[in-house]
């Protein structure tokens, strides 16, 4: 996208503009106001309200929340279900083997953690931020960077009222320019502007590239007899084969609620693999299926998750701004936790910006934030588990498990790893084998009770986009899906997209690539996994996308 044409737009100026109202952006905003109520702070959020686009597990480590708002319990934070049972199973097709706790060091324990809806927690954090004077604009995606004299000076929100063919409708409203002394990018995994910043300022130079997974999730209301409030269950193995990383999570919380989800590492190799169908199949395991008897599925969604960890953390600051949270990538993969690190990095960036503003600075690099991160408990959290992902990618699930356990033990006990710091290898888009060299996978048909199809699932995500707008999945070369991806990889977008956005249709005149953009749940998987790197996800018209509740 070209840099902004900034004249003749309405413009507003703030001390700090934050792109993204997730845990990172909200924690940053709150911390800024706590440090100095006079700092003007604005959050832009592309969802129709705060929390509408937040999808997570979520078992949270409350450490950052407690640092940010020590009396969160008294203030009524929606953090109520303590973890009471913590299980890890290895699945074969018919059996489930509990893995002994001794395999995992204390850093993996969920003692003191809570099962929440991160979407609800963000709504509550949004209220806390507003009560401190933060201005929050939901339904306003930041679409372009303002870069002047080599520094980020703010962002421009997307235009409203542009038709699919590009002409301006009667409802046309030009996007606004939001200028700031510092702009924080808190867009979460694979942020569209964060990706541009990474390239523009070479933020990944000398670091490992970021790695990703796709996480799919359903929310169920269980039959009361099946609910064990506080149960946390993680599983690996079947239905994934040994060369494909990922696994199941299942959390019982609230009033008979169960969050069940499945993560597939996006460095999977078989282009016939379908993460959505793997998730559906995982629920049919006899040890899992019985929990859902008499229950009802009430929510669905999907989102990419960062997996690169310690060695993939980019340079965090650049002139005029910083990446915070999963826009940089702070998920601790073996713990499947990132929200505590997202919040803490938001707070660290806020502290650096508040000090800079106090000193009369603007638009320079907040290098104190990089330093504070390197010394923080976030860096240590990631450092201790830095080899889990590379070992999993190299050795396959079965063999990796004891090595990951051993590596995390030596790291936690002695601060050393037998492996040093391993690299991640190829980027996720480059790992697919050719379709002709890969075994086709046939998935069972959904039964509509325990397993479902994509369209009924997307319906439950509340996804909605204005139909007459430019397609927000931008193809660099519209011919590639049919001329390259179809013959070589059987066009994997048809399978990796969890919302049925991409189809190859043939109405008699040969195959045609169809994009059903209105179904997009903003997971960003296509931007990451397309083997030709031909798809760029850009922000659609404001407020479009999923409307997650309790996710």
Binding residues for ligand SF4 (CB under 6 A)? 473, 497-499, 501, 520-526, 537
Q: What stretch of H or E contains 374? A: helix 367-375
CA distance 273 to 495: 7
Range in contact with ligand FAD (rule: CB under 6 A) among 338-346, 368-376, 422-430, 433-441: 338-346
305 binds ligand FAD (CB under 6 A): yes
> Between 18 and 391, whose beta carbon lies closer to ligand FAD?
18
Binder of residue 234, out of ligand SF4, ligand FAD, none (CB less than 5 to 8 A by kind): none
> Between 78 and 141, whose beta carbon lies closer to ligand SF4?
141
> Between 217 and 522, whose beta carbon lies closer to ligand SF4?
522
| Binding flags for ligand FAD, 492-531, as an x/- string (CB under 6 A) | ----------------------------------------
CB of 548 to ligand FAD, least distance (A): 10
CA angle, residues 111, 115, 118, in degrees to nearest 5: 130
CA distance 420 to 418: 6
60 binds ligand FAD (CB under 6 A): yes
Binder of residue 462, out of ligand SF4, ligand FAD, none (CB less than 5 to 8 A by kind): none
In sign, the C-alpha dihedral spanning 51, 467, 461, 501 is negative
List binders of ligand FAD among 106-145 (CB under 6 A): 118, 141-142
* Residue whose C-alpha is closest to residue 309's, from 289, 336, 282, 287: 336
CB of 463 to ligand SF4, least distance (A): 9
Binder of residue 524, out of ligand SF4, ligand FAD, none (CB less than 5 to 8 A by kind): ligand SF4
Binder of residue 537, out of ligand SF4, ligand FAD, none (CB less than 5 to 8 A by kind): ligand SF4
Q: Where are the alpha helices (DSSP H) in 116-249?
A: 118-131, 192-200
Q: What stretch of H or E contains 352? A: helix 339-358
CB of 22 to ligand FAD, least distance (A): 2
Binder of residue 118, out of ligand FAD, ligand SF4, none (CB less than 5 to 8 A by kind): ligand FAD
> Between 481 and 540, whose beta carbon lies closer to ligand FAD?
540
* Residue whose C-alpha is closest to residue 246's, from 233, 259, 232, 236: 236
Binder of residue 551, out of ligand SF4, ligand FAD, none (CB less than 5 to 8 A by kind): none
DSSP codes joined into one string, 30-66 = HHHHHH-TTS-EEEEESSSSTTTT-----EE-THHHH
> Between 176 and 327, whose beta carbon lies closer to ligand FAD?
327
Whether residue 384 contacts residue 411, with contact meaning beta carbons closer than 8 Å, is answered with: yes
> Between 42 and 55, whose beta carbon lies closer to ligand FAD?
55
Whether residue 257 contacts residue 295, with contact meaning beta carbons closer than 8 Å, is answered with: no
| Count of residues in contact with ligand FAD, rule CB under 6 A | 45
| Binding flags for ligand FAD, 20-49, as an x/- string (CB under 6 A) | xxxxxx------------------xxxx--
349 binds ligand FAD (CB under 6 A): no
Which is it for strands 81-82 and 114-115: parallel, antiparallel or unpaired?
antiparallel
CA distance 51 to 372: 28
> Between 289 and 538, whose beta carbon lies closer to ligand SF4?
538
Binder of residue 309, out of ligand FAD, ligand SF4, none (CB less than 5 to 8 A by kind): none
Whether residue 318 contacts residue 201, with contact meaning beta carbons closer than 8 Å, is answered with: yes
CB of 60 to ligand FAD, least distance (A): 5
CB of 177 to ligand FAD, least distance (A): 14
CA distance 281 to 13: 51
Number of H helices, E strands in the chain: 16, 24
Tokens of 167: 């002409």
> Between 148 and 503, whose beta carbon lies closer to ligand SF4?
503
> Between 56 and 210, whose beta carbon lies closer to ligand FAD?
56
CA distance 184 to 161: 27
> Between 44 and 240, whose beta carbon lies closer to ligand FAD?
44
> Between 193 and 372, whose beta carbon lies closer to ligand FAD?
193
What is the 8-class DSSP label of residue 471? -
What is the 8-class DSSP label of residue 26? H
Whether residue 62 contacts residue 340, with contact meaning beta carbons closer than 8 Å, is answered with: yes
CB of 302 to ligand FAD, least distance (A): 8
Binder of residue 497, out of ligand SF4, ligand FAD, none (CB less than 5 to 8 A by kind): ligand SF4
What is the 8-class DSSP label of residue 89? E
Range in contact with ligand FAD (rule: CB under 6 A) among 51-59, 173-181, 421-429, 446-454: 51-59
Whether residue 521 contacts residue 498, with contact meaning beta carbons closer than 8 Å, is answered with: yes
The CB-based long-range contact list for 195-198 (8 Å cut-off, 24+ gap) reads: 195/527, 196/1, 196/145, 197/145, 197/152, 197/318, 197/321, 197/323, 198/314
CA distance 511 to 481: 10
DSSP codes joined into one string, 119-134 = HHHHHHHHHHHHHTT-
Per CB under 6 A, the list member of 190, 281, 285, 303 interacting with ligand FAD is 303
> Between 199 and 507, whose beta carbon lies closer to ligand FAD?
199
Per CB under 6 A, the list member of 270, 280, 315, 339 interacting with ligand FAD is 339
List 59's β-bridge partners, or say none.
Answer: 115
Whether residue 136 contacts residue 21, with contact meaning beta carbons closer than 8 Å, is answered with: yes
Binder of residue 126, out of ligand FAD, ligand SF4, none (CB less than 5 to 8 A by kind): none
Footprint on this chain of ligand FAD (rule: CB under 6 A) = 19-25, 44-47, 53-60, 118, 141-142, 186-189, 191-193, 215, 217, 261, 303, 305, 325-327, 331, 336-340, 342, 539
């Amino acid at each position: 996208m070209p840099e902004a044409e900034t004249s003749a737009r309405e413009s507003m100026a703030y001390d700090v503009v934050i792109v993204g109202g997730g845990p990172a952006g909200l924690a940053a905003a709150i911390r800024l106001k706590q440090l100095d109520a006079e700092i003007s702070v604005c959050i832009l959020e592309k969802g129709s309200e705060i929390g509408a686009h937040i999808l997570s597990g979520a078992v949270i480590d409350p450490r950052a929340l407690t640092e940010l708002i020590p009396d969160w319990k008294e203030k009524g934070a929606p953090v109520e279900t303590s973890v009471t049972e913590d299980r890890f199973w290895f699945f074969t097709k018919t059996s489930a083997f509990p893995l002994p706790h001794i395999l995992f060091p204390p850093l993996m324990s969920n003692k003191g953690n809570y099962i929440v809806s991160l979407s609800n927690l963000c709504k509550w954090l949004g209220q806390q931020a507003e009560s401190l004077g933060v201005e929050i604009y939901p339904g306003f995606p930041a679409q372009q960077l303002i870069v002047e004299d080599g520094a980020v000076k703010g962002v421009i929100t997307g235009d409203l009222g542009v038709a699919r063919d590009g002409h301006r409708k009667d409802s046309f409203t030009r996007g606004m320019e939001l200028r700031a002394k510092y702009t924080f990018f808190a867009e979460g995994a694979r942020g569209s502007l964060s990706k541009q910043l990474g390239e523009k300022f070479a933020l990944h130079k000398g670091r490992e590239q970021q790695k990703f997974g796709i996480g799919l999730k359903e929310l169920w209301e269980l039959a009361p007899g099946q609910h064990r409030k506080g149960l946390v269950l993680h599983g690996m193995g079947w239905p994934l084969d040994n060369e494909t990383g990922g696994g199941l999570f299942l959390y019982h919380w609230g009033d008979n609620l169960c969050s069940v989800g499945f993560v597939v590492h996006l460095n999977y190799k078989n282009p016939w693999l379908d993460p959505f169908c793997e998730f559906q199949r995982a629920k049919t395991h006899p040890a899992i299926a019985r929990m859902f008897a008499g229950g009802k599925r009430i929510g669905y969604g999907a989102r990419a998750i960062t997996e690169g960890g310690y060695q993939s953390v980019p340079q965090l600051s650049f002139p005029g701004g910083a990446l915070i949270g999963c826009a940089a990538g702070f998920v601790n993969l073996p713990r499947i936790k990132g929200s505590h690190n997202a919040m803490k990095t938001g707070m660290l960036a806020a502290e650096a910006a508040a000090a800079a503003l106090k000193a009369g600075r603007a638009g320079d690099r907040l290098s104190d934030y990089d330093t504070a991160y390197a010394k923080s408990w976030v860096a240590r959290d990631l450092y201790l588990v830095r080899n889990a992902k590379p070992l999993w990618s190299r050795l396959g699930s079965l063999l990796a498990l004891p090595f990951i356990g051993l590596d995390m033990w030596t790291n936690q006990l002695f601060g050393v790893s037998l492996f040093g710091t391993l690299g991640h290898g190829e980027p996720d888009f480059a790992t697919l084998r050719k379709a002709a060299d890969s075994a086709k996978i046939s998935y069972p048909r959904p039964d509509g009770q325990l397993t479902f199809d994509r369209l009924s699932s997307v319906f439950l995500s509340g996804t909605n986009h204005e139909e007459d707008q430019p397609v927000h999945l931008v193809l660099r070369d519209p011919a590639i899906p049919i001329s390259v991806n179809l013959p070589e990889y059987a066009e994997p977008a048809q399978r990796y997209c969890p919302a049925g956005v991409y189809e190859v249709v043939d109405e008699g005149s040969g195959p045609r690539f169809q994009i059903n953009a209105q179904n997009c749940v903003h997971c960003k998987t296509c931007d990451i996994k397309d083997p030709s790197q031909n798809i760029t996800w850009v922000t659609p018209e404001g407020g479009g996308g999923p409307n997650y509740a309790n996710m």
